[in-house]
Chains A and B, each alone.
Chain A
């Protein structure tokens, strides 16, 4: 039965499908352009397309002796996980993509990431930091560093403030996270740090569902715990809703963060001066003082009219990394591309640390940045210290 199927499939392949151009690099991408993740998914689409356009405008990617144009097939999975996986499969089997750029959002990338292993096609995602995704298949790579390290970076940043004398241990922590993989990784990062640093203690720990309607009960529990630090990990809508309630209830902590949220333009628009002094940690900031970052900001704004946020930058850099790896591989052979990705050291990267490379598990482990909002709509980069653009204000002043 299966031999018959193979013959049939062979016949279909040989006679059925149109001839494929061999002189192009076929990249497939599946992103949530519509649906729940559409805001950032759309941004990823924009940045990915820009990176491909820039490569093609420069004549294409140098593969071996030839310059080849990049043919990007970008499909919308409407933020549905099963559809996402099936579309990746389609891009590999029917489109004959040489490599796949993964989606945005841990659950979508999780669903997609089981597919590359079946076909032996390199897969690079710029949209998921959950550690559980990586290390299972040698074909799966990710440019977003682990969320646990995001939390760990924030703890190190806070610890440094203690060393500077701005804060004093012992410090108690209120830990409030969204009930997702992202949130769980964040919790792990914080609790691991707390275990090895006796000056810190978590006194209240709560999870909340995405799009919770009323944060009052949650924050009531936080208020009763009377913690020093407020560490939260949330999506944008929840950050806005929770922080509003937080401000209305008159809560105050020495330092406050919502994980990667804080400096988002939408948040400042929705919350106004209530976001002052909130610190946030992310995979990228447009404030990084590297020349290539300044140049990227200008180029991106000129091409799209949009000031790049971390998701634009990481999506762009992910695509660029893939194209660079293909170039380094010198061929379109999947194993060669995979090996090139595994051993990649991309210099002059716009990512923090300026060098993009993958660890053994296929995930990047680049430094995180910490930014702090300042009054008047200003934002300062405050970590890594050597790249800082302004001082850290700690503790948050009481009104």
Chain B
């Protein structure tokens, strides 16, 4: 019971997990598709959050890892590998790539790092579109007979739950605390003995691996990939939007963001009037979150239950008056 008191969100989380796992028993295929999408986004958002939310290093180039995972799976599957075995290989390549990118770019701080990651992501996309063995812009197909929705569904849900458990574990561990420290004040953290570069690289690698596995599962579920579908800048933006709207640097935030985002996608497609305005809605959400509640939905919840004050602290008001 102490466990539940320390982590009030745990019973809800278990219920949520049970719901996901048992859904194929009673939900129609359309809903299962939607849940698969949601689980996919949960993995991407939570994994990104390790580096972006906890450590505060916002990368806009995560679609590169999705693509690496997806292409590794398709290429190896076409060479005869069983899809399941391709996943660790994709993860390994993604980790290597994350280190190669991280080593030079982690020297940069704040939005400079972000801009660099935009450059990397786009460069990867352009190169992938040009290479021959990746099928160029025509894309690639999985070999026949590798599709089984039940397996795909449980694999993605499983990955989502594993990701969340991993993040929860790291959050309590010294590693998670180091990440927090880096976000709050990197110099102070270094002074306290945190090797910021190595920690950042580790966080980057873990999240890259998770995202790549999700990419591999994506390829298995959709059976056809192209640079446009997996190396897309919009995907990178979506990956960043979800934890931000949900609440960066928290365990639950990315999940909320992923759920909101999936829900919006379904609702928007269903209504002709809203369909043409989905950009208004995403853009508007971002604006509202940034202006009023940078801590996202989690922050809003905290204010609602009284954990944080509604008004800004006097110090901030003072500062604003002066400027």
Contacts from A to B (Cβ < 8 Å): 2, 4-5, 8, 11-12, 16-17, 33-34, 75-76, 78, 81-83, 85-87, 89-90, 93-94, 106-107, 110-111, 113-114, 118, 130, 132, 136, 179-181, 183-184, 207, 209
Docked Cα-Cα span, A93 to B34, in Å, equals 14
**Contacts A34-B276, A89-B33, A93-B28 given; does A110 touch B224 at CB 8 Å:** yes
B275 proximal to A (CB < 8 A): yes
One of B28, B223, B226, B276 near A107 (C-beta < 8 A):
B226
Whether A107 lies near B29 (C-beta < 8 A) is no
Decide if B138 touches A34 in the complex (CB within 8 Å).
Answer: no
Query: In the assembled complex, which residues on chain A have CB atoms less than 8 Å from the CB atom of B229?
Result: 81-82, 107, 111
State in angstroms the CA–CA spacing of A12 and B26 once bound together.
7
CB nearest to B229 among chain A residues? A81
Best-buried of B137, B275, B276 by chain A (most CB within 10 Å) = B137
User: Does B228 sit within 8 A of A, measured CB to CB?
Assistant: yes
Closest CB pairs A-B (n = 6): A181-B138, A93-B29, A114-B223, A8-B25, A90-B30, A81-B229
User: With contacts A86-B33, A90-B30 known, is A114 near B141, CB below 8 A?
Assistant: yes
Q: In the bound complex, what is the Cα–Cα distance between A137 and B218 (angstroms)?
A: 21
Instruction: Collect the chain A residues with CB atoms within 8 Å of residue B269's CB.
Output: 75-76, 78, 83, 87
Q: Is the CB of A94 within 8 A of B28?
A: yes
Residue pairs across A and B with Cβ atoms less than 8 A apart, 28 shown, are A5-B150, A8-B26, A11-B26, A12-B26, A16-B28, A33-B275, A76-B269, A78-B275, A81-B226, A83-B265, A87-B269, A93-B28, A93-B29, A94-B28, A94-B30, A106-B138, A107-B139, A107-B226, A107-B229, A110-B139, A111-B224, A113-B224, A114-B141, A114-B224, A130-B138, A181-B138, A183-B137, A209-B126
What's the least CB distance linking A135 to chain B, in Å? Answer: 12
B111 interfacial by beta-carbon distance below 8 Å: no
Q: B223's closest neighbor in chain A, by CB?
A: A114
> B275 contacts A111, CB within 8 Å?
no
Given contacts A33-B275, A75-B269, A132-B138, 16 further A-B contacts (CB under 8 A): A4-B25, A5-B25, A12-B27, A34-B275, A34-B276, A81-B222, A83-B265, A90-B29, A94-B28, A110-B224, A110-B226, A118-B147, A179-B136, A181-B137, A181-B138, A209-B126
**Interface contact tally, CB-CB below 8 A:** 90
Interface residues of chain B: helix, strand, loop or mixed (majority) = helix
Residue from A107, A136, A181, A184 having most chain B Cβ neighbours under 10 A: A107
Closest chain B residue to A207, Cβ basis: B130
| CB proximity of B32 to chain A, nearest CB, Å | 9
User: In terms of DSSP, what is the predominant structure of the interface of chain A?
Assistant: helix
Q: What's the Cα separation between A313 and B137 when bound, in Å?
A: 28
* Residues of B close to A8: CB separation below 8 A: 24-26
B129 close to chain A: CB less than 8 A: yes
Residues of chain B lying within 8 A (CB to CB) of residue A2: 150
**Is A180 within 8 A of B138, CB to CB?**
yes
What's the Cα separation between A89 and B36 when bound, in Å? 13
Q: Is the CB of A5 within 8 A of B24?
A: yes
A179 to B275 CA separation, bound complex (whole angstroms): 30
Which residues of chain B come closer than 8 Å to A4, judged between CB atoms? 25
A82 engages B222 (CB within 8 Å): yes
A181 / chain B contacts, CB cutoff of 8 Å: 137-139
Judged by a CB distance under 8 angstroms, whether B282 is at the interface is no
Chain A nearest Cβ from B220, distance in angstroms: 11
* Interface flag for B97 (CB, 8 Å): no
A107 to B224, alpha carbons, bound, how many Å?
A: 9
Output the nearest chain B residue to A79 by Cβ-Cβ distance: B228
Chain A residue contacts of B137, Cβ below 8 A = 179-181, 183-184
Give the distance to chain A from B54, nearest Cβ to Cβ, in Å.
29
- Once A180-B138, A181-B138 are accepted as A-B contacts, the answer to whether A85 and B222 lie under 8 Å apart by CB is yes
A34 to B138, CA, bound (A): 22
Is B278 an interface residue when CB atoms closer than 8 A count as contact?
A: yes
Quick one: closest A residue to B40, CB to CB? A82
- Tell me the complex Cα distance, A16–B26, Å: 10
Residues of chain B in range 98-144 having any CB-CB distance to chain A below 8 Å: 126, 129-130, 136-139, 141, 144
Taking the closest CB of chain A, its distance from the CB of B132, in whole angstroms, is 10
| In the complex, chain A residues whose CB is within 8 Å of the CB of B138 | 106, 130, 132, 180-181, 184
User: Which of chain B's residues 30-49 have a Cβ closer than 8 Å to chain A?
Assistant: 30, 33, 37
B25, A184: Cβ atoms closer than 8 Å: no
CA distance A126 to B267 in the complex (A): 28
Measured in the bound complex, the distance between the Cα atoms of B223 and A184 in whole Å is: 21
- Min CB gap A124→B, angstroms: 18
What residues of B have a CB within 8 angstroms of the CB of A5 in the complex? 24-25, 150
How long is the Cα–Cα vector from A89 to B28 in the complex, in angstroms? 11
A130 to B226, CA, bound (A): 14
A93 touching B30 by the CB < 8 A rule? yes
Query: Which B residues lie within 8 Å of A110 (CB)?
Result: 139, 141, 224, 226
Residues of A within 8 A of B141 (CB): 110, 114, 136
A181 to B276, CA, bound (A): 28
**Are B136's CB and A184's CB within 8 A?**
yes
